[in-house]
Structures are given as structure tokens and as C-alpha cells.
Amino acid sequence: MLTSKKDETEQRLNSILQKLSGITFVPENWNEAVFWTTLEETGLSKSDVLEKDENLFFKQLIDLQFPWEHMEKLADILVGLDPKQPDQLIKERAKHLYQFIHNESKMFSFEIMNKIGKL
């Protein structure tokens, strides 16, 4: 069975995000250099995540063909990253990414609203 380019892209992103989750959420796996190098496999750099204008960052995620659920997973990873890189900017980026997903996906999600409320 042939898979489409979109399916391949989604599978690749999912695989990378799973790796990032392991690096972020398992304390003994934390290695900042490995985290940012792994993130670069998605097409995002450390400066994209931490310094880029929010609207340009969100547009970049769309251009990189991140589906809504992968954007949410990235926001979850950023929340998990916060204790290792305590920086209000990371929390704010995650919160605004959740808000962007909620607004742009046109779907109401109690889960996303709860995540926003916790930040």
C-alpha cells in the first residue's frame, strides 16, 4: 500500500515529537544539546521556538505542515521543557500556541482549555 507524502510527513513529525517527549519528560534523558538537535529535524531551530515573532512561528508550523495535534504535542513538550529551562517565554509560547490551535482549528477542546488554564 502506498502512503501519501502528507502521511509520510505526519509520521516523520510524530516520530520526532515522540523522541522529544522522551528527552523532555524522562529526567535522566535530559540533554539540552540533543533536545535542540532533535527539534531541528522538524525544521524548527532553538531561535524559532524561543525568539521568533509568534505570528511568524505559527506560520512556520503551518508551512512545515504540522497538523493541529502535532502543534499541541509541541506545546506539551514546551511545557515539559520549562522546568529544565525556566524561562517565562517558554510557558508563554506554549500558552499562545495552545490558543492559536484552539482559535484556528475551529474546534472547541476542553483539554486545550484546561492546558491554557494551568499556564
Inter-axis angle of helices 32-40 and 5-25, to 10 degrees?
Answer: 170
DSSP state of 27: G
Q: Which of these ranges, 23-37, 57-71, 88-102, has the smallest mean pLDDT?
A: 23-37
What average pLDDT is seen over the chain?
87
* CA end-to-end span of the chain: 43
Residues in the chain: 119
What pLDDT sits at residue 15?
87
Over residues 78-102, the mean pLDDT reads 86
pLDDT tops 80 at residue 53:
yes
What pLDDT sits at residue 25?
67
Confidence of residue 26 (pLDDT cuts 50, 70, 90): low
Q: Which of these ranges, 48-57, 75-84, 98-107, has the smallest mean pLDDT?
A: 75-84
Over residues 33-47, the mean pLDDT reads 91
What pLDDT sits at residue 3?
63
The pTM assigned to this predicted structure is 0.85
pLDDT tops 90 at residue 100:
yes
